[in-house]
Structure 1
């Protein structure tokens, strides 16, 4: 009997066990998934909790309901991986051997890594929304905020769902206008980046949207500490950003057991081949989803598309064949912009977000880098798709690799913008 052990029953881990249980003979393969508890949380829904769009029961379901028959679900905290003996040790003393290991334990906000962030203002005037507890606490506090300085802040990249801070700023602007108090609130967006986003075309577009909404941008801001007494962010170059209400995205890090196991980088992400997701140190170890160090967005779409490539590659590997699939870093993200509208961005390792239509040329129906009602509805509809299609491992009619179909290539020296020619589609 061969053993596949998956650490993490989140998006990537759940998809993997659902897809592989159907394709690996039960008489030959034992599949086990490990997680700390039975609560599976729809993390994109955290953004909507503070504004009352979603209720807590809409973003939490029981993990075991999505684990297929024939897969053992083990609850426990992971102490370490012993890659030399091919075993995982749990904190309660249990040991789980494996032939192949998939690390899919994601990334976690770590406010403890920034001096002062967990001080006396934590969840009084300093909040996060990248955790269920933080988003719930902010939902309770936000209605009482009716004037002052609201600061949305990113500590450092990478973070999961890199557009979510922008979405929060846009939604906060809309929410304040709906309440008739936008003129009493100064909105500030603080980022370590030089612009609104990591990619030039999208950064320009999103930056223009911030300016249109009169959201001030404090760029290239590397936070050194949170001054609780003076209620201010302080950067390493001694710039200060005062706040009345701070919504911060703390440093994101991989799981601590990765560090204890000697498998991670300085942020506890597992170094892997960015195309196959195979560990650069151990041929029988993979890291999928947010747990790896691939230079792609730490987003649910990346987990989805990379799992599609991983599954076929894994089946080739265990048959003694070369892995022929190559993940291209494909990501697409809906970006809520307020007022019942949203944008969509679609990109990969080599191609930045472009304008156009998705997934089909001309007809779309989604507009790329364009605010539309359809994109907002697509974002809301994705919650149903997540629970009923994505997690169970059912096929979605979207290509795992990015397509240039429908995208408008930027102008070059020869002329103006153009659609991708057939050979690029």
Structure 2
């Protein structure tokens, strides 16, 4: 088994399979370009000083079980016909089964004018470690002006993160007594605040309540850094003093070179088994596949559980009987020490109710609460100590309807 990518999905599946597969029969290798594992949800908190930089970074190797080989190097391409992975430095790895878990990355090079002399200055982003740290300094120095939070296009990893940043920015400037001097504008290509209509309505209400102007249906054509404006294809302009942009997200370039991806370098897969639609021995997990659901850590977690159960059936010569239902749950930081929680799947819109225990919670769905905020902050400890090592955390992979009702 060769696993490309040592992030959330790649680490989880490696650890779970190492426990389940005989060490004298199976060799498991994880390939990644470096030995740095970031807790990416922490990027959201770095610009506001809510978390320290050292709390975000750990060693990949430290979270891989004994008996797993960590291969450091860049992937050049996959040769599916030969069942071989070629690395940029000339090394190659043969496989019987391949898992592509190389995620998705921001690509500012895909939008004219986004990269330039003001990148990570007046044009900021928080989807990378360096970008989040640069933005921390920019926000600390900002006392007035227009802050624009801009979403280029969907899909992106953690699709609620731009909204969370906006809510936290409102809270950040309000606590400093500067909110009346800082205008906040949310710019999106969507026709509302979010992709799911029920959640979009609730989140849009919160934006309005906090005095955030929303510019919808805005498809950016280019950014003029000199004039400090976003320009859309229909020639609308949105000016900014500080821009926080979420660039177009794309899968890894080697996926395209290998002929395995779609136009955004995501691997087409069966949405229930994560198996490549082209090659039976290839699977794509986490953000690397084209699943029609959120590119979020919860999706990686739940889909990995399904994959492992199916894979053990597959290598035992039995049919794969488990099906991923697109289950996702996402905390949405709303500022003021509160957060919402969304729970949905391929077929079900976010519901109201309680989670994870029916009627008891302690978390509330589609409603702000301090318990949800505490849950969001506590998840970092679950991530490092339970999720990555592949230990059970007590949540079912399939979405449960118990204790939930449709939103009014």
Shorter-chain TM-score category?
over 0.9
In the other structure, the counterpart of 2:406 is 409
1:106 aligns with 2:110: no
- Secondary structure, counterpart of 1:80 in structure 2: strand
Structure 1 Cα separation of the partners of residues 242 and 51 of structure 2: 22
Q: How many Å separate the matches in 1 of 2:406 and 2:263?
A: 37
1:409, CA displacement in angstroms? 2.3
Aligned to 2:53: 56
> Match for residue 266 of structure 2?
269
Report the counterpart of residue 422 of structure 1 in structure 2: none
Residue 83 (structure 2) aligned to one of 75, 79, 86: 86
CA distances 1:256-299 after superposition (whole Å, capped 9, x unpaired): 00000000000000000000000000000000000000101000
State which of 198, 219, 222 in structure 2 corresponds to 1:222: 219
**Aligned to 2:250, which of 249, 253, 257?**
253
CA-CA distance at 1:355 after TM superposition: 1.1
Contact 2:353 2:364 in 1 (8 A): yes
SS in 1 for 2:278: coil
Q: Distance in 2 between matches of 1:13 and 1:88?
A: 16
Q: Cα distance, 1:120 vs. partner?
A: 2.1
TM-score, scaled to structure 1 = 0.95
Q: Secondary structure at the match of 2:355?
A: strand
Unaligned runs of 5+ in 2: none
Matched, 1:68 2:65: yes
Q: Does 1:344 align with 2:344?
A: no
* Structure 2 equivalent of residue 288 of structure 1: 285
Aligned-partner SS, 1:29: coil
2:384 aligns with 387
Unmatched 5+ stretches in structure 1: 412-425
Kindly state the Cα deviation for residue 410 of structure 1 after the two structures are TM-superposed: 4.4
d(CA) in 1 for partners of 2:15, 2:121: 41
**Equivalent-residue separation in structure 1 for 2:13 and 2:82 (angstroms):** 24
- For 1:32, the equivalent position in structure 2 comes to 29
Distance 1:392 1:228 in 2: 44
RMSD between aligned residues: 0.6
In the alignment of these two chains, the number of paired residues is 408
Residue equivalent to 1:157: 154
Please say if 1:370 is aligned against 2:380.
no
Taking the TM superposition and a 5 Å limit, the aligned residue runs for 1:103-182 are 103-182=100-179
**Alpha-carbon distance in 2 for matches of 1:140, 1:76:** 32
CA contact (8 A) 2:350 2:406 kept: no
